[in-house]
């Protein structure tokens, strides 16, 4: 994004402070002295960074006189390590399965964390189109050790003409957080021991703006004194200078690498250098028009944060705003984000170039020495007698060449030189090994096949070896995750302060997963949704080796699950493991092909029910619940919320109390049912006992007569039984017992 479209707040002239002319002159002198003094203090650091940039661009110094033909190949050791580290971090940040996870801080924030996560993922990866700019941000962090980006709220608009009325209409192309990686030359700070840029007494952002951008900024309330000094601004902008004589050292190296001269280009347009000074200043008390900087009777004793925009060439203040008014809800009010490669307690920490520059020098010397040794071995020097007629200036060794000499045996002699390149090869391997131990990036991390006998042959073996080798790299990954979390927190604070009441964002129903409504391919983030506190973390994307190892693990687990009766006899469990196997094999459409089976009627843990209530979900009692156990746990949560109502979620608490009452009702119903069942069992037992006594009394009154005996002769049926028929029917009791005689 261009600097002229970056807004610090809404277009409101009330944010511009109208200071007296004497006060503006005093703050202008302060900015001038701060800028010059800071450049002088950081001159040595910028010279070191200038050399790091030269190594990144593989720029070769001019050879000394007489050494024009000597070997001077720059071994790109710094460059290839930075490229490898750069690609790995960008793949982790913006890979296919990378996402933003919102971590709720307060109890009531659990309801919307999934929605906030999907919104921030859309904002970062789709809306802001951050990949290319964050690529620059990460590269400068790796190269110099620290990177800074300017990140205000941006409203980028353009005008079109309505065909019906022929009137101009303003179209908003983008509205949201901006992200502009700053060149090291464009971020100027004092020489102070701090941990973050917000602790510096001041920081200055250098940028170049056109007169048109300044004039539009005055109309929108971001600048002042533009129209009043328009003629001077136009005259100075015609010079077209884009490089300063002091303070643009790294940019000058870039100019040399690009083959362009930006200092006084012939084809450049209008532009002016603007210094945005973010610092602390003791303002005048109300009613005071002028006072020295140390006059405590007329000035406030405590400093306040301001942003003052200053035209360097014209010595004119063109903007004064209070950071407390611009960012009232933000703790760190300077609109910058930063990242460092090493958290060693220093602000200007080391980068990859500082780590590897000495090793690159050693590799370069070793390579050039080996090259010269090989050249001497192939074209050794010769000795000759001056009177022999041999002319070394015109002599050039060629196959079949004849050299006229008086006595070839004594007039000329070729010296024999043997070069042992094994020493150079051994030294190069040792130097590379030092670098691998320092950075943690070996053959496998760089994507090269290992040629050692114990080289891994499967994805699982490769990942196992990488995990051991990634211990060093994981340190940088943890630092990157922490810095990225702070960047995401800054973006969210800008969203909270300046976003519209409702912001549309793209999300699918599958990504929403029923956590919030989705219509027409997206959803809305409302003001109520943003009213919460969240921490953010970036879920890194998995590497290709990790995905291959996960595939092997998933397929092995799937084969075991198919032999497990607990899985095979459970339709939902079998569906889940099958879906995971299809996902691992690259088929995410299994759920569309085979619908998910219904959820079995099972009890839910009471702790899980409370978490679901905090997320705004509906919880119902289940007949399988242990009501007493649930009531004990729910009562503990109720008491905890009532003891701290300031941080509790009233809506979730009300639902939990209602759920607790439902458990009481279900418990009472279970007791009633249990009592009824016990009475029924007791009555059935009494009936059974009474029937047994009656049967014993009947059996003891008169023995049953069995014609022909029990074991002798054919069975004959007693007379008078009309129901009995056939030879296999038998009745061994009196007919009066049938009850129908």
Q: What is the pLDDT of residues 258-303, one digit of tens each?
A: 888 888 788 888 889 999 999 999 999 888 888 888 888 888 889 9
Nearest-CA neighbor of 730 among 712, 710, 716?
Answer: 716
pLDDT of amino acid 28 = 94
Instruction: Provide the pLDDT confidence category of residue 394 given band limits of 50, 70 and 90.
Output: low
**Residue 250 CA: distances (Å) to CA of 49, 62, 179, 243, 358:** 7, 18, 21, 11, 20
Residue 393 above 50 pLDDT? yes
Instruction: Provide the pLDDT confidence category of residue 738 given band limits of 50, 70 and 90.
Output: very low
Nearest-CA neighbor of 295 among 284, 306, 304?
Answer: 284
pLDDT of amino acid 141 = 94
Instruction: Provide the pLDDT confidence category of residue 735 given band limits of 50, 70 and 90.
Output: very low
pLDDT of amino acid 190 = 95
Instruction: Provide the pLDDT confidence category of residue 147 given band limits of 50, 70 and 90.
Output: very high
Residue 659 above 60 pLDDT? yes
Question: What whole-number distance in Å separates Cα of residue 655 and Cα of residue 620?
Answer: 10
Contact 220, 11 (CB under 8 A): yes
Residue 5 above 50 pLDDT? no
pTM over 0.85: no
Question: What whole-number distance in Å separates Cα of residue 421 and Cα of residue 373?
Answer: 8
401, 407, 413, 414: CA torsion to nearest 10: 20
Contact 128, 488 (CB under 8 A): no
Nearest-CA neighbor of 606 among 630, 632, 641?
Answer: 630
Residue 465 above 70 pLDDT? no
Instruction: Provide the pLDDT confidence category of residue 736 given band limits of 50, 70 and 90.
Output: very low
Contact 224, 318 (CB under 8 A): yes
542: helix, strand or coil: coil
pLDDT of amino acid 49 = 94
Residue 182 DSSP symbol: P
pLDDT of amino acid 591 = 78
**Residue 266 CA: distances (Å) to CA of 211, 245, 259, 401, 470:** 19, 18, 15, 55, 51
Nearest-CA neighbor of 252 among 4, 57, 2?
Answer: 57
Contact 489, 124 (CB under 8 A): no
Nearest-CA neighbor of 47 among 184, 193, 158?
Answer: 184
For range 466-472, the mean pLDDT: 54
175 or 430, which is more confident? 175
pLDDT > 90 in the chain, percent: 23
Of 369-373, 601-605, 639-643, which one has max mean pLDDT?
639-643
Of 342-346, 425-429, 448-452, 514-518, which one has max mean pLDDT?
342-346
Element (H, E) at 318: strand 316-322
Residue 215 above 60 pLDDT? yes
For range 210-226, the mean pLDDT: 90
Residue 84 above 90 pLDDT? no
The domains of the chain are located at 1-42+145-346, 351-386+413-439, 542-600, 606-691
Mean pLDDT of the chain: 80
pLDDT of amino acid 716 = 46
Q: Say how many C-beta atoms besides its own lie within 10 A of residue 562's C-beta.
A: 13
pLDDT > 70 in the chain, percent: 79
Strand partners, 148: 338
Question: What whole-number distance in Å separates Cα of residue 289 and Cα of residue 350?
Answer: 47
Could you report the per-residue pLDDT of 296-348, keeping only the tens digit for each? 888 888 999 999 999 998 999 999 999 999 998 888 999 999 999 988 889 99
Least confident interval from 392-401, 472-481, 645-654, 681-690? 392-401
């Amino acid at each position: 994004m261009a600097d002229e479209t970056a807004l610090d707040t809404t277009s409101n002239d009330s944010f511009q402070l109208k200071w007296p002319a004497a006060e503006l002159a005093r703050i202008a002198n302060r900015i001038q002295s701060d800028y010059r003094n800071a450049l002088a203090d950081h001159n040595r650091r910028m010279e070191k960074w200038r050399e790091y940039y030269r190594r990144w661009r593989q720029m070769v110094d001019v050879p000394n006189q007489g050494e024009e033909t000597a070997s001077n190949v720059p071994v790109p050791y710094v460059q290839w390590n930075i490229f490898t580290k750069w690609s790995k971090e960008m793949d982790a940040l913006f890979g296919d399965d990378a996402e933003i996870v919102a971590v709720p801080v307060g109890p009531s924030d659990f309801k919307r964390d999934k929605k906030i996560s999907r919104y921030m993922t859309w904002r970062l990866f789709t809306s802001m189109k951050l990949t290319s700019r964050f690529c620059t941000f990460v590269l400068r962090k790796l190269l110099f050790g620290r990177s800074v980006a300017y990140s205000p709220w941006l409203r980028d608009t353009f005008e079109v003409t309505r065909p019906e009325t022929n009137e101009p209409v303003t179209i908003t192309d983008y509205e949201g957080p901006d992200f502009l990686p700053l060149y090291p030359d464009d971020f100027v700070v004092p020489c102070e021991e701090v941990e973050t840029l917000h602790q510096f007494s001041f920081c200055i952002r250098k940028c170049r703006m056109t007169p048109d951008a300044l004039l539009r900024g005055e109309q929108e309330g971001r600048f002042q004194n533009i129209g009043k000094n328009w003629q001077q601004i136009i005259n100075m902008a015609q010079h077209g200078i884009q490089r300063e004589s002091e303070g643009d050292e790294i940019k000058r190296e870039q100019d040399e690498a690009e083959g362009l001269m930006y200092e006084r280009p012939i084809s450049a347009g209008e532009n002016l250098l603007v210094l945005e000074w973010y610092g602390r200043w003791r303002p005048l008390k109300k009613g005071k028009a002028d006072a020295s900087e140390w006059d405590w009777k007329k000035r406030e004793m405590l400093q306040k944060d301001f942003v003052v925009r200053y035209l360097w060439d014209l010595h004119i203040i063109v903007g004064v705003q209070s950071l407390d008014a611009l960012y009232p809800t933000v703790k760190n009010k300077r609109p910058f984000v930063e990242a460092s490669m090493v958290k060693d307690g220093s602000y200007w920490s080391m980068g990859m170039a500082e780590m590897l520059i000495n090793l690159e020098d050693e590799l370069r010397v070793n390579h050039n020495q080996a090259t010269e040794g090989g050249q001497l071995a192939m074209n050794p020097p010769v000795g000759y007698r001056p009177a022999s007629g041999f002319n070394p200036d015109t002599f050039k060794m060629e196959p079949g060449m004849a050299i006229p000499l008086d006595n070839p045996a004594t007039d000329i002699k070729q010296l024999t030189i043997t070069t042992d390149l094994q020493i150079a090869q051994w030294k190069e391997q040792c130097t590379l090994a030092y670098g691998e131990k320092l950075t943690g990036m070996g053959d496998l991390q760089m994507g090269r096949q290992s040629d050692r006998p114990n080289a891994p042959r499967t994805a699982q073996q490769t990942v196992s070896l990488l995990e051991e080798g990634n211990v060093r790299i994981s340190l940088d990954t943890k630092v990157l995750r922490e810095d990225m979390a702070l960047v995401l927190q800054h973006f969210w604070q800008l969203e909270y302060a300046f976003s519209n009441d409702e912001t549309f964002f793209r999300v699918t129903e599958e990504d929403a997963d029923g956590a919030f409504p989705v219509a027409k391919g997206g959803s809305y983030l409302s003001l109520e949704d943003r009213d919460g506190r969240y921490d953010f973390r970036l879920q890194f994307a998995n590497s290709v080796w990790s995905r291959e190892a996960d595939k092997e693990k998933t397929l092995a687990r799937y084969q075991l699950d198919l032999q497990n009766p607990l899985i095979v006899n459970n339709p939902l469990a079998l569906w889940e493991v099958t879906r995971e196997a299809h996902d691992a094999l690259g088929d995410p459409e299994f759920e569309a092909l085979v619908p998910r089976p219904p959820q079995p009627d099972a009890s839910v843990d009471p702790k899980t029910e409370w978490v679901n209530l905090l997320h705004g979900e509906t919880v119902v009692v289940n007949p399988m619940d242990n009501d007493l156990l649930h009531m004990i746990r729910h009562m503990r949560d109720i008491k905890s919320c009532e003891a701290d109502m300031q941080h509790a979620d009233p809506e979730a608490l009300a639902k939990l109390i209602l759920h607790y009452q439902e458990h009481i009702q279900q418990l009472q119903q279970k007791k009633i049912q249990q009592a009824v069942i016990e009475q029924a069992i007791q009555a059935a037992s009494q009936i059974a006992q009474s029937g047994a006594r009656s049967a014993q009394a009947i059996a003891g009154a008169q023995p049953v007569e069995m014609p022909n005996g029990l074991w002798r002769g054919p069975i004959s049926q007693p007379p008078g039984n009309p129901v009995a028929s056939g030879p296999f029917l038998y009745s061994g009791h009196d007919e009066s017992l049938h009850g129908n005689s």
